[in-house]
Structure 1
């Protein structure tokens, strides 16, 4: 008996900008999004299934990079006329949620350079403000995959693009990757940067009066961050993944601390390592039923 095709909840605005590309709308993709949208989904499952979507997005983004002819010799002694990527790439994550997409990028692109941008809302002006950036020195000569899982109003993403342009990155060399986008944010973002391509997994219905994406999936960063979770997954393997991810997160924050004033480095490092030790101790105590 043929499998039935579930109706998709994907939204396709009539005036969708031509620079926006979505993943192929399959039943499998719909199922993955259903899992991560469910508020009862465990943190371990949220990590696993959102990472699957992130890898799909990264793979799709590579399809939009230019290639050049390349001839290689196979083990049989024959030649094969194929293609190779033109130029180098790098990833840039918009902290903090964008950092969760770095692992998916590294799994697809080995040894890829990754930069970071931290943008927060200015309390006085209510506008996005750059608080921190650490980018490869040669970023102006690379194709940039900009990483942020959610596109709501587009304010942070537009500020991040401005930061990249200030470093000499042409607009057409930037590809913005996200899991869920609101139509309002897409139109605003693409209207500002028409030559920049956007790769999104799903376009939701709208923004509500608080500028939250509807139906959305909640706060992506909080659902992944162990600091905001009061429970662990029942799977020991998933728990170890959680500890490994938090250890990586602490290492990343320590790297940010390297740019702080020398007088504060030691204090920051000590506090962060104590925090990492607490996460590990809590995990071990749970496994040993202490």
Structure 2
């Protein structure tokens, strides 16, 4: 009898929910439909340039340069073959490896430095911690080009030009203020009772950071890591000025396809699509953690 009663109550609850949905005001349903349509249009607007770039990369240079472009033009992989050096050009693998090294290593350094700093500013706040956060953020107010000449002279005098480790240091210093600012809000959501319990058990600070704080704040750490990786991967100004052949990154390699003679649109689109794939793959891999991390620091 109890099982039958619970089944009946469940059926009645579902019927009540459907009835409430059907009796919702028409104005609310129209508003929700309008918001959904706007969201779909905005999504299509953002995705359309990427789809157009992918389609252009599959055309020949002559078809890609037509105005207006021809959608019915025959498809070819010549742009990708030239990008990967099949036509006798330079191979992109070394530049891709440099970008991957600089982005991954600098992101790891940023996390190692930002996690203790964010812990000190959120869970164990220091005096005037808001001023400290503002100081971190103020370092991003200086235009990058304003510090380009001093950094170039320093790299030249120390023999660090065309060195991938110089980019690692620069990317770490560039992304560290943003990482500290983001992770401070994420770590503020960590329950202090767990940290106090770990301290009572005799856990020291490195153990607390790695075994208590980091697992709880993992969505925020993943979001911070992804943003730092994207910023490092896409950076081109320092890489263009401070590197040559040995430490050339993928964005700098991409600019080599833009010439003053001949057609290059299909090759540039193919190269841009390939170079964007690591960022897209990282975004899809960390999609769930990214959404949780972005909402973690916002919900109080």
TM-score by length of 1: 0.25
Q: Which has the larger radius of gyration?
A: 2
**Structure with higher strand content:** 1
**TM-score of the superposition, structure 2-length normalised?**
0.24
Select the structure with the greater relative contact order (CA < 8 A; seq sep ≥ 6).
2
